[in-house]
Structure 1
């Protein structure tokens, strides 16, 4: 069965974006971008909220032809365009680029999606990730800690009342100071 993987960048003080939705503090260089490309390329699909999807759709469909794009960015553009995407939105009317619109996070439907053949599924976007956490649908956490304190913004994890035991499966430091912490559910 496929896993649901929460894959997100976070500041050292636990925020995924600044108070005005800023992401300019992310330290994504070619080494980290190549790593992201390899990780996403192996996946079976992307589970995105509407805001994340619209952000991605505003960049990646044209990035391959943009002279300012680096080689890893052009590669990611091809990966993103080809990758099956499931966008969770009550308001989005239409989506392109191999995208299916899903109206609600229904645990039984997510379990059925996990049971389909193919690679693991990556959940991205803070609100969608919070919904998946509320429904206990996340099997693995890949948190990329960026070496910066931003002071305030949107936290990676919303408050919740249960303890979720995890075990460290991998840690890796990148040359730019970003550290990957990969945790799996502790059986």
Structure 2
């Protein structure tokens, strides 16, 4: 059965974004972007909250229209547009690009989606990721630690969040830009 995978980039001090949703500190390279493409291409669906969806929808639908876009960006734009997406939001009325809105995270519905998926399900975003963890729905964490200190912003795991989990290291990898993948399974 497919896994639910929380897959996020994080600064060394634990932030997924700086103030004002700043992610300019992400260390991209062709190697890591190709890795992301290869991983995401195999997924059954992308699950996110409104903020993550709007961030992605604000760039990826037309990213490949830029004649100067690297091949990995062009490739990912096509992957993102075609990938089925579930957006957890109480406020969005409609979404595009092969996405649908779901108002609440209902564990039974997530398990049914997991059973029907043609591949792992990616969960992204601090709010939705935290909710999935609290509900015991995350099977695997893939944390991409970027060698930067952000200092403030949105934490991957907010303080005071009840998400206790025992994990075991499945894989680690260092990319050419200093980003380290830490892949954990749940015990």
Fold-level similarity (TM above 0.5): yes
SS in 2 for 1:64: helix
Q: Give the match's secondary structure for 2:40.
A: helix
Aligned to 2:170: 169
How far has the Cα of 1:63 moved from its partner? 1.0
Q: Gaps (5+ residues) in structure 1?
A: none
TM-score (norm 1): 0.96
Q: Which runs of 4+ in 1 moved over 2 A?
A: 158-163
Change (3 A) 1:148 1:41: same
Alignment length, in residue pairs? 186
2:40 — aligned with what?
40
Match of 1:88 in 2: 88
Question: Which position in structure 2 is the counterpart of 1:18?
Answer: 18
* Deviating more after overlay: 132-141 vs 155-164: 155-164
**What is the 5 A alignment of 1:20-169?**
20-158=20-158, 159-161=160-162, 163-169=164-170
- For 2:117 and 2:151, the matched residues in 1 are separated by 42
Q: SS state of the match for residue 149, structure 1? A: coil
TM-score (normalised: structure 2): 0.96
1:162 CA displacement: 5.3
Q: Distance in 1 between matches of 2:148 and 2:92?
A: 34
For 1:37 and 1:53, locate their aligned partners in 2 and report how far apart those are by CA, in whole Å: 17
**What's the CA shift for 1:117?**
4.0
* Cα offsets for 1:86-142 (capped at 9, x unmatched): 011111111111111111001111111111141000001111111111211110000
Q: What SS does structure 2 have at the residue aligned with 1:128?
A: helix
- Give the alignment's Cα RMSD to 1 decimal: 1.1
In the alignment, structure 2 segments of 5+ residues that lack a partner are none
